[in-house]
Structures are given as C-alpha cells and as structure tokens.
Amino acid sequence: MEELFDKIKDGASKTKDAAGRLAKEVAKRTSNAITSTKLSYAINDANNKIKDIYAEIGKTIYEKYLDGEAVDSEFTDEFEKINAYMDDIEALQAKKAELKNILRCENCDTLNPATSEFCSKCGAKLTASDVADDAEDADEDVEDVITITPEKGE
C-alpha cells in the first residue's frame, strides 16, 4: 500500500512540476502577447504622428500657394484639385443650408431661421449672403447624404 502512495505522490509531484512549467510558459506567452500589442500600438501611434506631420507640411505648402508665395510647381495640379473640392464643399454646404432654411450671422456666427431679419443673438441684420456654410449645427430634421467622387486619374 505504501508503494501505491509513493507512486501517487511521485505522479502528483510530476503533475505539479508540469503544471508549474505550463503556467510559466503561459505567463511568458501572455507577457509576450501583451508586449507585442503595446509595441504594435506604439508603432501605430508613431505612424499616425508622422501622417499628422505630413498633413501639416502639405497644409503649410498649400497655404503658401494661396498666399501667392513661390512653391514647387509639381504641386500645382494638386492645389487646383483642392481648390475645386473647396468650391464644391462651399456650394454643397450652401445648398444644404438653403434646404434647411438656415442663415448664419456674419457678425457672430449664430444660426438663425431663414425667415429671420435680425440675428437672435447679436441683433445684426441678416442678408441672403448669410446662408450658413455648415448647417450641421442646426436641428437635423432631414438626413443629407452627399457623395463627391473624384474624376478618373485623381
């Protein structure tokens, strides 16, 4: 009987050792997975910061172009595309504001119903040229979906 208890004890000891090794391996792999995830996050964060810097560089060059400063002529086509999109956006926003009957006060930027003659916040006289550039600040009673599709080759 003592021999049976020794075998059980040895088996339990081996099982305990194996479980300990397994637990260490699982902990190591979990730690590696967490570290890998953290590294992936840091890489993604750094890439996003680089993209932000690229965007800021592009914006700075475009603003110089708008101010009439000399910029590399290879970007002229892209600047013209940006200008066209800006014009499209302005026209679409004006149309959206018109559909929603909204005027934006030139004096304080407050949105007002198109039927208003004076701004509800500052009292300035409203004109037809005060059509809101962005009607999204107003009550949304109609869902608008507008898609701008670039021309081929863009």
Is the pTM here over 0.85, yes or no?
no
| Cβ atoms of residues 111 and 100 within 8 Å | no
pLDDT per residue over 106-120, tens digit each? 888 888 888 889 999
pLDDT band at 134 (very low <50, low <70, confident <90, very high): very low
Neighbours of 104 (CB within 10 A): 22
Neighbours of 125 (CB within 10 A): 12
Q: What is the pLDDT of residue 110?
A: 85
Q: What is the pLDDT of residue 130?
A: 55
H helices within the chain, ranges in order? Answer: 2-66, 76-99
